[in-house]
Structure 1
Amino acid sequence: MNLSIEEEVRSVGDMLEERKYDIAREMKSEEHDTDEALEFRSQLVGFFGKACYDQDQSLKEMSTWGQNTGQWAIDHGINLVDVLEKVSFLRLTIWKAIEAFVIDKDYSAKTVFALIHRLDPLLDEGIRSFTATFIDSYKMKIQEAHDNFLVLSAPVVPLGDGVAVLPVVGNVDSERAEILLDTALSEANSQGLSQIFIDLSAVPVIDTMVASHIFKIVESMELVGTHTVLVGIRPEVAQTMVNLGVRFEKIESYGTLNQALLRKNIFQHKTSS
């Protein structure tokens, strides 16, 4: 008795569900395979089988599978590129099993095309959700690393009783300026600072925007009773600032931190006390 195209498609689905663990073992690409990895692959084959009955439900389940598998790969330190390189092999293994079954049963070409239209979008959805999970995780890690860098890039180093230095290294933008200000105010309170040196010798460019951020930090520190001294403004930077119309006349400043410490007698005071 000849079967309809739908019946032939469903019989392929039955085969995939029955043989999902055997097909999953054929997908093995490493000598040391884990039961967990086998289970993930068998689930993948099972979704292909279910898609032969209900494509919409299988797409939803495949999306969840991709998210869970992506998280599993992240937790196990598996590289995204390595995983994507294996996708074609996984697809080929499943289609080889389908091909052998379809040829054995002498199913029509229309059945094969019906299977293609149902199954290929399924794996595409798995890849999309898997990759999205991977990308979101790395975005989160990059953001965490960025946030940690901003915090660690604003160390307030104590030099003596009530005196500290805040070395600023690299470019200063609005986000980093806020971190510098928050850290300086917090440390001024916790360390009981009466004076803080802001070392700008490692800031490559000081333009009007950076200058405004520095002014804000200085003014805020003065308001909480911490006198601020700027050090490390290099001659070429000073010249650029003058050309830009940036004025620091009201702020105490020195060419180097060492020069400021000598002029302010910081360590002499500490020794005499």
Structure 2
Amino acid sequence: MTAETSTQKVGSYILEQASEIAQSTYERQRHDLDEADFTNETKLSLTNTTYLVKLIGKSLQQNTTNAMTAIEEFGEESGELVQDENEMIISLIVTVPLIREAIWEAIEPIVEELNMKPRDVIKLPGKIDPLLDQFVYSYGSTYITSNQQLKTKYDSTLEELSTPIIPIIKNLAILPLVGNIDTYRATLIMEKTLEHTRKLQLNHMIIDLSGVVTMDTMVAKHLFDITEALSLMGVQVTLTGISPSISISAVQLGIDLHKLTIKSSLHNALTDLAVLSNPAT
């Protein structure tokens, strides 16, 4: 019996025992992970683990490198489906090493039965480990790439939501700001506001601050810089809903509020611009 034939028989045995090896991996995970992690985190499923083990068995059975390509593709498909970083870490750091352990424990009987020579047994890791390593690489790298693409899409959406410029009538739009505004968001608001103002060809912008919770002095400076920049573009700016904290920041910055058009509410601003009818008239 040649070493190659022995390897093929080990591969056939792994194929036959794939479900049991996957179940053994599952039980090892249950033992190694806290109950909360095991319950809440989606690991490689039994079906996926079984399929991965079968690919390894088929590679040994057929003595072919085709399984490497199949495992690479399977790793990429699995990585694309991962939505959570913890899931990815548990799959790579916990599950894959346990699959390795389960395979070696499972093939002990067939290795003894075949009476494989030590040098032939030593060659087995050189055939099995690269396959698992390829899965880890494909799985992890695909997850990272997909996650970066998702982050780019998320950042783009966040940018649009951070500057929700709403055209009301021709040449007039409202910029309603909501939530906390930090320095990064303030810079983003300025960039997007000036960009949208040019595209929409606005000559009047209402910036409503009634939904802003907090704003420190530096951010307030960015905000008033926006009004200055818009003015330089020939756009008349009306500020509405200024809170006491924003007023205090403006005073601390030495900004002359009398030079700005300020209304107590968005409704009042729209009424004064004849966008809304004034019930009092």
Question: Aligned residue for 1:260?
Answer: 269
What SS class does the counterpart of residue 164 from structure 1 fall into?
strand
Question: Aligned residue for 2:152?
Answer: 143
Cα distance in structure 2, aligned partners of 1:26 and 1:42: 11
Q: Deviations over 1:231-272 (max 9, x none)?
A: 232112221343344555543233432343455554248xx9
What SS class does the counterpart of residue 276 from structure 2 fall into?
helix
| Residue 42 of structure 1 pairs with residue 54 of structure 2 | yes
Gap runs ≥5 in structure 2:
27-44
| Residue 197 of structure 1 pairs with residue 209 of structure 2 | no
The Cα of 1:184 is off from its aligned counterpart by 5.2
Cα distance in structure 1, aligned partners of 2:192 and 2:78: 38
Cα distance in structure 2, aligned partners of 1:113 and 1:241: 75
Partner residue of 2:74 out of 69, 78, 92: 69
Q: Aligned ranges for residues 34-113 of structure 1 at < 5 Å?
A: 41-47=53-59, 62=68, 67-74=72-79, 80=88, 83-84=91-92, 86-88=95-97, 90-108=99-117, 111-113=120-122
Q: Deviations over 1:87-141 (max 9, x none)?
A: 3553344324431221112335565455446644652442243123223312321
Q: Deviations over 1:31-81 (max 9, x none)?
A: x998x987654333345668xx89xx89xx75x656522332255568646
Question: Aligned residue for 1:221?
Answer: 230
Distance 1:13 1:222, change over 3 A: farther
Partner residue of 1:211 out of 203, 221, 228: 221
Distance 1:136 1:76, change over 3 A: closer
Distance 1:44 1:262, change over 3 A: same
Q: What's the Cα RMSD here?
A: 4.3
What SS class does the counterpart of residue 167 from structure 1 fall into?
strand
Cα distance in structure 2, aligned partners of 1:209 and 1:153: 14
The Cα of 1:148 is off from its aligned counterpart by 0.7
Q: Equivalent pairs: percent with the same residue? A: 23
The Cα of 1:186 is off from its aligned counterpart by 2.7
Distance 1:95 1:236, change over 3 A: same
Cα distance in structure 2, aligned partners of 1:189 and 1:139: 29
Q: Deviations over 1:169-207 (max 9, x none)?
A: 2324446634553355435643x5331111223152143
Q: Deviations over 1:210-231 (max 9, x none)?
A: 523641x334433443211222
Distance 1:212 1:89, change over 3 A: closer
Distance 1:198 1:139, change over 3 A: same
Give the TM-score normalised by structure 2.
Answer: 0.66
Cα distance in structure 1, aligned partners of 2:121 and 2:103: 13
**Given that residues 172 and 210 in structure 1 are in contact (C-alpha distance below 8 angstroms), is that contact kept between their aligned partners in structure 2?**
no
User: 2:56 is matched by which residue type in structure 1?
Assistant: L
| Residue 251 of structure 1 pairs with residue 263 of structure 2 | no
Partner residue of 1:22 out of 16, 24, 27: 16
What SS class does the counterpart of residue 267 from structure 1 fall into?
coil
| Residue 238 of structure 1 pairs with residue 250 of structure 2 | no
User: 1:70 is matched by which residue type in structure 2?
Assistant: G
User: 2:16 is matched by which residue type in structure 1?
Assistant: D
Cα distance in structure 2, aligned partners of 1:16 and 1:107: 10
Cα distance in structure 1, aligned partners of 2:230 and 2:253: 25
Distance 1:211 1:70, change over 3 A: farther
Distance 1:249 1:66, change over 3 A: farther
Distance 1:38 1:106, change over 3 A: closer
User: 1:150 is matched by which residue type in structure 2?
Assistant: E
Question: Aligned residue for 1:133?
Answer: 142
User: 1:222 is matched by which residue type in structure 2?
Assistant: S
Cα distance in structure 1, aligned partners of 2:191 and 2:260: 17
What SS class does the counterpart of residue 239 from structure 1 fall into?
helix
